[in-house]
Amino acid sequence: MVRVVLDTNIIVSATILKRGHSAQILDLWREGEIEVAISPSILKEIEDVLKRPRIVKQQWLKKEEVEALIKRLGQSCVLTPGRLALRVVEEDPADDKFIVCALEAEADYIVSGDIHLRNLGEYRGIKIVPPREFLEAIRPKEN
């Protein structure tokens, strides 16, 4: 099974755009078709961002559904400690936590809309791709 680390922007986007690529990725996780890895610092960031007033105003999910999503992420994902000390993303060191999580979880992909991460393209065999490219990579081609 494909194991992936989702950048915070992917989770946030899925709560704003009901049918977007990010929402499709979350659906794959909910349906058990992919494994998502997460660390405590990523989960905390997701929770903080999803509760920002300007984000809340845009969400199609109800408050209770957002809280349930956060809880499920904490309970149903592959939890990594997030303890590796790495300096990879020079332009935005806060993004290093996604690289650390992916390494600790032995993930196949990091899915991100963040240009600083995506500019890496790959790190130690872990592909760093935008949502659409991830979906195209893991879904069989339809004829």
pLDDT digits (tens, 9 = 90+) for 1-35: 999 999 999 999 999 999 999 999 999 999 999 99
SS3 of 119, please?
Answer: coil
Looking only at the bridges linking them, the beta strands covering 78-79 and 35-38 are: parallel
- Give the mean pLDDT of 53-81: 95
Mean pLDDT computed over every residue of the chain: 93
Residues 10, 114: Cα–Cα separation, whole Å:
9
Residues 53, 76: Cα–Cα separation, whole Å:
26
> Domain-by-domain residue ranges, the chain?
3-137
Q: What is the pLDDT confidence band of residue 90, given thresholds at 50, 70 and 90?
A: confident
Q: What is the pLDDT confidence band of residue 142, given thresholds at 50, 70 and 90?
A: low
Q: What is the pLDDT confidence band of residue 143, given thresholds at 50, 70 and 90?
A: very low
**Cβ–Cβ < 8 Å for 42, 97:** yes
CATH 3.40.50.1010: does it fit domain 3-137?
yes
Whole-model pTM: value is 0.93
Nearest CA among 15, 138, 129, 17 for reference residue 72: 15
137: left (phi over 0), alpha (psi -120 to 50) or beta: alpha
Query: Higher model confidence: residue 93 or residue 71?
Result: 71
Residue type, 19: R
